[in-house]
Structure 1
Amino acid sequence: MTSSSDSGRISLFDPMGQQEPFDFGYHVDSPMTGGQFHSHSLYEIYYFHEGRCTYLIGDSIFVLKPGDLLLMNGLTLHCPKVEPGTPYIRSIIHFDPAWVCRDMPESVRSALLEPFASLLNYRMTLEGARKAEFESMLAGMHRLGLSKNRFVRERMALRLQEMMYMISDWCQGAVQDQEAVSDKERHVQHVISFVEQNYMYDLTLDQIAREAHVTKHYLSSLFKEITGTSVFKYVYNRRINQAKILLRLNPDLSITEVSQAAGFKHLAHFSRMFKEMVGATPEHYRKSGVDIH
């Protein structure tokens, strides 16, 4: 049984009427409202068909073009910023990995989920045969979802599994590159992931070092060696970048509210750091319309 909540959107329900952890929006062209950051526990496959959109995922900013495919773990805050007056056409699949990979051997489950778990939030651009194959697969899933076939739930799961096999194959090189990183790089990546989830809270070097299971002196040296900057310079850069995003996308927030949401306890400290790192006050940055970098 299927339900379409708007044009092109399909949700699956089990025989007892409970919604399955799967939602598919095909060629969705409804405008974005609010521009709010959001997160969810589901994995997401996002395909950009047409329009002008900048997608913000955590501290990464992707200027999308048709054929771009995003793989998202969902938990990282993300938000599309669509240029007013332009189309915004995308296909989006949300799914629970436990649902789509149920009854699979562990080796197969790992292979299918590795691009999401290892690469976290990843963009690839599809062209030529890959682009045509992926778009054909999306269209086929959409037709199936609208059908009256009594095995639509089972067949939709198989179609999604097939798509994930294809994506896993395309991402093999990127996953292998990720696996080839050194232990030092793994420690630093762990710290960066921890900061991404906690930059809005009070952080201390002791706390971050405990999370990374290293001493704070080793952490300071290691982070500088790998990134060329200090741990807290990175933290402040992350906070200021978040403030820039909020200033651009949330005009109703006061400067004080932006400061607090970005992780600053004191407005004066935030204003001073923002001016130092951006070259303009938060108020001037918001009014100027300067692009986010």
Structure 2
Amino acid sequence: MSSSSSKGLPSFEWMQLKEPIDLSYYNEQPLISGQFHSHAFYEIYYFHEGCCTYLIGDSVFALKPGDLLLMNGLTLHCPSVEPDSRYVRSILHFDPAWVCKGLSESAKTILLDPFDTLRNHRMTLTGTNREEFEALLADIHRLSASTTHYRQERMTLRIQELMYVIAGWCQAAVQGQDSISEKERHVQHVVSFVEENYMHDLTLERIARDMHITKHYLSSLFKEVTGTTVFKYLYHRRINQAKILLRLHPYLSITEVSQASGFKHLAHFSRMFKSMVGTTPEHYRRSGDELSLT
């Protein structure tokens, strides 16, 4: 996670996933910081109980129990909780490319449209809808805490089911909305391009050429929308990929992990990994630490 600020914007954090799926379930911890944050992964936020006002961009939502927020992550957002107030929430962060891996294009569109088209959407769940959502959320939490075989694959299937349920609820709203803004479309294009090509040698010129814009405009646009630079995002993505490979593919050598993650030189990979993770790739693999959101 890196802190940054941008002209005309409050201080905020740019957050990164350390694994494709991260769930904080029924979190009752007091809010430590109300700092705005932004990220390139998608977020499903569910408010169980308490007192919270949620700020997303220029929108303010006074939450009540049963409220569900869908966020594409790129818009700055921040919960605001009064001191000593109860604040119980569940937050599911996920990499859309990972969750939709292997699905048809039509299925991807169905699952991601509520996030891409509505961008940041609030709905209030009641009755059987609330019961169904909370039951699915509890099941994902049960799997996340287990050591069963194919745990992450089973979690992915549950999250896909959860997203199909949400897509059904949002169908009318999605059909009545305009598409995402041009700036957000460009940034999402960059994120998708990096997702597909992080393992290759990338330059600003190559990314800008793919998008048919100048590299100066690309740099300023990405920084304006996300608060970070294209290359900071790229290196975070490569290091995150290295963590996934170190965890899920112990037979790969450190050199193979480095190359598969997009680093041409092992020494550069080792320096970047230690700088961003705080330990060496070798020690990270031996430690078996759980991957989690910083």
Alignment of 1:1-293 (within 5 A): 19-178=18-177, 190=181
Give 1:62 deviation, angstroms.
Answer: 0.1
Percentage identity across paired residues of the two chains? 59
Give 1:22 deviation, angstroms.
Answer: 1.2
Matched AA of 1:46 = Y
Matched AA of 1:78 = H
Higher RCO (C-alpha under 8 Å, 6+ residues apart): 2
Cα distance in 2 for residues equivalent to 1:170 and 1:87: 28
Partner of 1:198: none
1:18-66 per-residue CA deviation (whole Å, 9 max, x = no partner) reads: 9422100100111111210010111000000010000000000000000
Cα distance in 2 for residues equivalent to 1:143 and 1:53: 26
CA distance 1:192–1:106, change in 2 (3 Å): closer
Query: TM-score scaled to structure 1, two decimals?
Result: 0.55
Give 1:191 deviation, angstroms.
Answer: 7.5
Name the SS for the 1:103 alignment partner. Answer: coil
Unaligned runs of 5+ in 1: 1-17, 180-185, 195-293
Cα distance in 2 for residues equivalent to 1:19 and 1:190: 28
Matched AA of 1:138 = L
Matched AA of 1:156 = M
CA RMSD, aligned part only? 1.9
Cα distance in 2 for residues equivalent to 1:176 and 1:139: 30
Matched AA of 1:159 = R
Matched AA of 2:29 = S
Matched AA of 2:175 = Q
Query: Larger Rg: 1 or 2?
Result: 1
Name the SS for the 2:19 alignment partner. Answer: strand
1:115-134 per-residue CA deviation (whole Å, 9 max, x = no partner) reads: 00000000000000000110
Cα distance in 2 for residues equivalent to 1:19 and 1:150: 20
Name the SS for the 2:117 alignment partner. Answer: helix
1:224-276 per-residue CA deviation (whole Å, 9 max, x = no partner) reads: xxxxxxxxxxxxxxxxxxxxxxxxxxxxxxxxxxxxxxxxxxxxxxxxxxxxx
Cα distance in 2 for residues equivalent to 1:138 and 1:120: 21
Partner of 1:265: none
Cα distance in 1 for residues equivalent to 2:92 and 2:182: 29
Matched AA of 1:93 = L
Name the SS for the 2:54 alignment partner. Answer: strand
Cα distance in 2 for residues equivalent to 1:19 and 1:115: 24
CA distance 1:19–1:84, change in 2 (3 Å): closer
Query: TM-score scaled to structure 2, two decimals?
Result: 0.55
